[in-house]
Amino acid sequence: MISGGLSIHKLLAGMRKYGASDLHIKVGTPPVYRVGGILKVLGTEGLTDDEADHLLDPIVPEKLRSKYDVDGDLDFATHDDEGDRYRVSMYRAGGHVNAAIRRVKAEIPSYADLHLPDVYGQIVSKTNEGLVLIVGTTGSGKSSTLAAMIEHINSTEACNIITVEDPVEYRFKPKKSIISQREIGIDVPDFPSALRHVVRQDPDVILIGELRDQETVMAAIQAAETGHLVFATLHTADTMQAFARMLEFFPREQHAFIRGSLSNTLRAICAQRLLPTVEEFEVRVVPATEVLLNTPIVVERIRDGQEADIPSIINASIHEGMRSTIKSLAELVNKGWVSARVAMAYAPNRDALDSELKGVEVKASTLVTRGKA
């Protein structure tokens, strides 16, 4: 796939050419692209120790090189002449450089581009303070969804937006809003340092790239409590796990306090996972989504530690804008975007999805019969 001498710039250009979302660099194997969710090995020789150790040299920020030498891990972003950005996770394994590189397209996506449900836009439009969490596993599209939300605000409201990211992925251009994007390791040493001062910088909207420890969770809650709109990501598979994950950062004696704060500040949790589409569809992946809105009954359950009731609340509250993963999967199948086989593979409860799909089929056949009559 890549001809001529191997270079990191050629490999990055190849990601754009072949529509790859990720590039993996490992000693002893050829570079590997992920295209449409599938790993594809380049038709080259395996990388030697020396090639792997120096392949990334042209793009590693000089001021961060020493951090990798000491820690064996480094996250940073780079860009190419076409405007695309690349999130690089560089790590030592077996004494040599390995890397996972995620391509971030230059264009900031819209909700329509990402095939997100209307409720995502409604959350941003109806919320001027509080905490909005976007959760999902690695590679579930959290960064793209956050970018769409921030761009929506940027295009429609006069706000001061401050982001703290590791690394900065999408670059925003001020429209109605003004935006400052701070990158860990470049503009500020770490998340706690940035978040200790962020509320003094007169923000209306704060984006925290990831809630990764007690300090970042507490900073997000406190900023939301003081009248700011706070967006953040969390690595959990669904909405219910988000609560357990945040509580894990705190000693048990503080859990009641954190629950009380979350019940007051939380506005929404949006969970998502990306599914491969049918071959003829316009894009390779689409999100299955789960949305929890902080209604009065949800406030009560969070405060009382009854998160186990959340899935049933979501299922019973579709009319309020909440969405269950099962409903979302059935919707994707009904639209013809995802095959039933793929939906079943991703379903948290296959029996529930099977029942939902049968319900969809019955409704469809009823409509056809009525039409003929």
Instruction: Decide which of 1.10.645.10, 3.40.710.10, 3.60.20.10, 3.30.450.90 is the CATH code for 8-104.
Output: 3.30.450.90
Q: Where are the domains of the chain?
A: 8-104, 111-356
The CA–CA distances, whole Å, from 59 to 65, 142, 179, 326 equal 10, 25, 26, 42
State phi, psi for 196 to the nearest 5 degrees: -65, -25
Q: Is 167:85 a contact under the CB 8 Å cutoff?
A: no
Closest CA to 350 of 373, 333, 368, 369: 333
CA atoms within 13 Å, Cβ hemisphere of 264: 14
Q: Is the peptide bond before 167 cis (omega within 30 degrees of 0)?
A: yes
Q: How far apart are CA 183 and CA 168, in angstroms?
A: 6
Q: 236: burial class by Cβ within 10 Å (0-12, 13-18, 19+)?
A: buried
- Does the predicted TM-score (pTM) go above 0.75? yes
Class of domain 111-356: alpha beta
Closest CA to 131 of 264, 318, 245, 240: 264
**Encoded tokens for 365:** 């056949």
pLDDT tens string, the chain, 373 residues long: the values are: 444 478 999 999 999 999 899 999 999 999 999 987 789 998 888 999 999 999 999 999 988 889 899 999 999 889 888 878 899 999 999 999 999 999 987 789 999 999 999 999 999 987 889 999 999 998 899 999 999 999 999 999 999 999 999 888 899 999 999 999 998 888 888 898 899 889 999 999 999 999 999 999 999 999 999 999 999 999 999 999 999 999 999 999 999 999 999 999 999 999 999 999 998 898 889 999 999 999 999 999 999 999 889 989 998 876 678 999 999 999 999 999 999 999 999 999 999 999 999 875 544 444 333 333 3
